[in-house]
Amino acid sequence: MSCDKFKDLLMGYLDDEISEQERVELEKHLTECDECTKELADFKDLKSITDDITLYQPEDEVFDQYWSSIYNRIERAAGWIILSVSGMVLLFYAGYMMIEEIIHDETLSWVFKGALLAFIAALSVLLVSVLRERLNTRKKDRYKDVRR
């Protein structure tokens, strides 16, 4: 058998995928052929590298999950911000229309009008404060996750 024939067997030899007869012939040839022995050593190095790559694959999956969870969090944070901002705009707008109507209603007393204005102003301040607290808590949560 020529060297080329044995070189074709080397990969299969490392993976234990050649016949008993082929294995015996190859091992015999390896004892008397430096070139094929060197090639086998190269294949062994290559195989250990590809084995390492195979070992890293599960970690890649964890990495993918990590990124998809980050993406989910960004999505949720964006949802919260849009919800808060649009809710505030709706409230301010509804409040504004209410004030307009009530201020021009001559049958209502100024005490009621003043109390209502104060109530709406306080509500707006509280909403902004709650939103700001939410955003601050979010930032702290993010650092907590990194430490974990």
CB nearer to Zn ion: pick between 9 and 36:
36
The nearest distance, CB 69 to Zn ion, in angstroms, is 53
The nearest distance, CB 70 to Zn ion, in angstroms, is 53
Binding site for Zn ion (CB under 5 A): 3, 33, 36
CB nearer to Zn ion: pick between 43 and 92:
43
CB nearer to Zn ion: pick between 3 and 118:
3
The nearest distance, CB 18 to Zn ion, in angstroms, is 15
Measured distance CA(125)–CA(119) in Å, rounded: 10
Measured distance CA(129)–CA(107) in Å, rounded: 34
Number of other residues whose CB lies within 10 A of the CB of residue 91:
14
CB nearer to Zn ion: pick between 33 and 127:
33
The nearest distance, CB 28 to Zn ion, in angstroms, is 11
